[in-house]
Structure 1
Amino acid sequence: MVRHSFAFALVILGTFAALSDLSAAELVAKVISIEEGDRLTIRHSGRTETIYIKDIDCPQLTQPYGKQAKRVTTAFVANRDVIIRGLAADKQKRLSAEVVLHDGRSLGRELLKEGLAWWKRSPAADQRLELLEELARAGGKGLWSDPKPIPPWEWKQQAKVRR
């Protein structure tokens, strides 16, 4: 009898451990503000955090298409619950995650499809996003309608030089 109770307790503990791993990888949060197309402030578990959308980089607000990227992000998620998947600190120590809409679509993918973001090329990035950027580029969508769009990381460098 003790053996069965012990085995049952182990099964229950294992189930709770698996569930806690799932909740650590995915959580529901409310978007309370949008700072830029790829930067949001969310509230979850009584905490407020600013996060970046993983694997993409939207134009800065002062760049062409920066305000449009923010408007599109706002239309998708402002004051709505979203699923935050894989929340982690990036190499700049900023929090980043995949942001999943109520219908299961990825916000980052939607911004890439609309031509309102660059795919961040890195070994850890979702390589499938490259195709979405290429399709937007080929279709001349959003920032790709400009013959020589300036990526935000170059824009920031140029802004430092101008100061």
Structure 2
Amino acid sequence: MRKLLVLILSLFMMALSFATTIKGKVIKVADGDTITIIEENGDKTRVRFYGIDAPEKKQEYGIKSLDVLKKLIDKKEVDIDVKDKDQYGRIVGIVYYDGMNINLHMIETGNAWWYKQYSKYNVEFEVAEKKAKLEKLGLWKESNPTPPWIYRKDKRK
């Protein structure tokens, strides 16, 4: 029992050591869920928004989603709660501007989907998407918008 407790405590401490926040100025908004920042130490860092997937630029509503995100945070100082690194080496995190969760805001306003595959248990994102759908906000004005993961898959064929 004691060994199990020590193992659990060790894992918890390891998890805490990975929890990190970075700060920086947004220098590029690539699309509705990816930005580049300049960190306080001068490093350029690409950031993919955790738990959301926005329309691709060439996809219907893609430019609108990009524009909404640009108006919110382009050239602004943001805080990023780092969750992971993706297969392309980008930081994956929750982006905050002036205390606002930008990831959540993009879903609430119908400018991005809740990316269930990578954030299954995020009830806040789930509720936000259901509400945006109900209110027909943003991309939900369309009766059956194509999710970006399907759009990307179809483009590869």
TM-score of Structure 1 vs Structure 2, range by shorter chain:
0.7 to 0.9
Structure 2 Cα separation of the partners of residues 79 and 133 of structure 1: 27
Q: CA deviation at 1:38?
A: 0.5
CA distance in 2, matches of 1:123, 1:101: 22
Secondary structure class of the residue paired with 2:37: strand
RMSD of aligned Cα (Å): 2.0
CA–CA distance in 2 between the matches of 1:62 and 1:112?
19
Q: CA deviation at 1:124?
A: 4.4
Q: Distance in 2 between matches of 1:142 and 1:31?
A: 23
2:110 to 115, 121, 131: 115
| Residues 56-135 of structure 1 mapped to structure 2, 5 A cutoff | 56-90=52-86, 93-102=89-98, 104-122=99-117, 124-125=119-120, 126-135=122-131
Find the residue that maps to 2:155 and give its secondary structure.
Answer: helix
Q: SS where residue 27 of structure 1 aligns?
A: strand
Note the C-alpha offset of 1:93. 4.7
Q: Aligned partners of 1:47, 1:87: CA distance in 2, in Å?
A: 19
Shift of 1:90: 3.2
For residues 153 and 101 of structure 2, what CA distance do their matches in structure 1 show?
29
Residue 38 of structure 2 is matched in structure 1 by: 43
Q: Is this contact kept in 1: 2:21–2:81, CA < 8 A?
A: yes
Distance 1:30 1:87, change over 3 A: farther
Q: What one-letter code is carried by the residue in structure 1 that aligns with 2:107?
A: L
Any unmatched runs of 5+ in structure 2?
A: 1-15
Q: For this pair of structures, how many residues does the alignment match?
A: 140
Query: Which residue of structure 1 aligns with residue 8 of structure 2?
Result: none
Question: What SS is found at the alignment partner of 2:111?
Answer: coil
Q: Give the aligned residue type for 1:35.
A: A
Q: 1:123 to 1:156 in 2, by over 3 A?
A: closer
Unaligned runs of 5+ in 1: 1-20
Deviations 1:56-82 (A, max 9, x none): 000001111110111011001111100
In the TM superposition, residue 22 of structure 1 has moved relative to its aligned partner by 8.5
TM-score in terms of structure 1 length: 0.79
Partner of 1:86, secondary structure, is strand
Q: Percent identity?
A: 26
Structure 2 length as normaliser, TM-score? 0.81
